[in-house]
Structure 1
Amino acid sequence: MLFLWIAVLVLAIVIEATTSDMVAVWFMPAAIVSLVLSLIPGVPWWVQVLVFVAVGLILVVATRPLCRRLLRGKRTRTNADALIGQICIVTEEIRNIDGLGEVKIGGLCWSARAKEAERIIPVGERVEIVAIEGVKLIVK
């Protein structure tokens, strides 16, 4: 059984090294514990297998959620996401019914639509970006 646990350990290391998600890391300690048990005279093979399964499952259940939370990191806003909540200036009257409207923010001009379909927003008014739909900013 010694060589079986060495093979399981090596296989878990190879799988973990070749995948981008943590899938086999919990079975490495389980294989090591079973490897140590196989060195003790008189420990039957079924006890080694039972310990391997138990240690592996306990580690998965106890630590996987924590590891995923720690490794996930914070969500980074994209440039477009960063525009939401910003104030911009209307450079072309916004009339949803005619499909017209433009705002300027950060030196760039964007097509814009009013959040309220019937609202007309005159040139020069300051508006807040509330959403992005495709390449158009939705403002109020």
Structure 2
Amino acid sequence: MYNDLFGVSPMIFWLILTVILAVSEILTLGLTTIWFALGALAAFISCIMGASLPLQIVVFIIVSVIALLLVRPVSLKLLSGKIVKTNIDALIGRKVNVSKDIDNIKETGNVILDGTTWNARSLEDDVVISSGETVVIEKVEGNKLIVKRA
């Protein structure tokens, strides 16, 4: 009754789908298609074991959903802790000293960061931060550090 799936045997279909989804995951590294690749692999194995096509489809759906719901949150949690901030991202949250009063209205303000003078602006337009104060870098916009009082 079910001799083919999209014009090929179910075994070949599940194998091709597994490879396509796995390669897609390798290229994107977004933890999006790996769960469905696992489901396709499970369907492929069930096909080898002689399961009917409807059962293979059910296996694909169940394994994909279970992997997505149970494993993805744990994977994201483990991977997110190992990301090391670099370049501009590494500046966010650092404390620096104000070397020239920061006044957004007058468009003035500097801070010293690692021995280099940076233009700085306050996170809030109506706040003037005096020279000598310590501030925290909130974000970077072009060549300006956006800061707030520590």
Moved more, 64-73 or 52-61: 64-73
Deviation at 1:62, TM superposition (A): 1.0
Moved more, 48-57 or 69-78: 69-78
Residues paired across the two proteins, number:
131
Of the three residues 95, 100, 107, the one matched with 1:99 is 107
- TM-score (structure 1 length as normaliser): 0.73
Deviation at 1:15, TM superposition (A): 1.2
Q: Aligned partners of 1:57, 1:132: CA distance in 2, in Å?
A: 44
| 8 Å CA contact 2:111, 2:120 repeated in 1 | yes
Assess, with a 3 A threshold, how the Cα gap between structure 1 residues 15 and 85 changes in structure 2: closer, same or farther. Answer: closer
Moved more, 18-27 or 72-81: 72-81
State the SS of the aligned residue for 1:122.
coil
Q: How does 1:125-140 map to 2 (within 5 A)?
A: 125-139=133-147, 140=149
Q: Do structure 1's residue 114 and structure 2's residue 122 form an aligned pair? A: yes
Assess, with a 3 A threshold, how the Cα gap between structure 1 residues 9 and 118 changes in structure 2: closer, same or farther. Answer: closer
Identity of aligned residues (%): 31
State the SS of the aligned residue for 2:38.
coil
In structure 2, the residue matched to 1:26 is 39
| 8 Å CA contact 2:47, 2:56 repeated in 1 | yes
CA radius of gyration, larger in: 1
Q: CA RMSD in A?
A: 2.7
Assess, with a 3 A threshold, how the Cα gap between structure 1 residues 80 and 51 changes in structure 2: closer, same or farther. Answer: same
Residues 104-128 of structure 1, C-alpha deviations (whole Å, 9 max, x = no match): 1222322111234233333333223
In structure 1, the residue matched to 2:19 is 14
- TM-score (structure 2 length as normaliser): 0.69
Question: Which 5+ residue runs of structure 1 have no aligned equivalent?
Answer: 39-47
Q: Aligned partners of 1:7, 1:118: CA distance in 2, in Å?
A: 66
